[in-house]
C-alpha cells in the first residue's frame, strides 16, 4: 500500500484501484505488441500519482478477432 490516504466521510478508508493497464485498450495493446515497457509504466505511474493504491494489470493478449 502506498502513502495515499483515502478517508471517506464516515472515517473509513476507500481503496482505489487503477485499471487502465488493460490489453483490450488500444494504446496498451499496441504497447504490449511493440514491447514498449516505458509506455505501460507511465500509465501505471500516472494512476499512482492520481491516487491509486493498487494497479490492476491485465496483459492478456487476444488470439484472433472476436470472442
Q: Where are the alpha helices (DSSP H) in the chain?
A: 26-33, 37-49
Determine what percent of the chain falls in helix, strand and coil, rounding each to the nearest 5.
30, 20, 50
Domain that holds residue 5: 1-61
In a domain, 36, yes or no: yes
- pLDDT value at 12 more than 50: yes
In a domain, 66, yes or no: no
Average pLDDT over residues 39-63: 92
Q: Which residue has the higher pLDDT, 2 or 47?
A: 47
Distance, CA of 4 to CA of 56 (rounded, Å): 17
Looking at the 3D structure of the chain, how many domains does it have? Answer: 1
Q: What is the pTM of this model?
A: 0.74
In a domain, 37, yes or no: yes
Residue in 40, 35, 36 with CA at minimum distance from that of residue 58: 40
In a domain, 47, yes or no: yes
Distance, CA of 5 to CA of 11 (rounded, Å): 11
Amino acid at each position: 500500500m502506498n502513502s495515499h490516504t483515502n478517508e471517506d466521510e464516515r472515517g473509513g478508508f476507500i481503496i482505489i484501484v487503477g485499471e487502465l493497464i488493460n490489453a483490450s485498450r488500444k494504446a496498451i495493446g499496441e504497447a504490449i505488441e511493440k514491447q514498449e515497457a516505458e509506455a505501460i509504466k507511465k500509465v501505471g505511474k500516472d494512476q499512482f500519482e492520481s491516487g491509486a493504491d493498487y494497479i490492476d494489470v491485465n496483459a492478456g493478449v487476444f488470439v484472433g478477432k472476436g470472442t
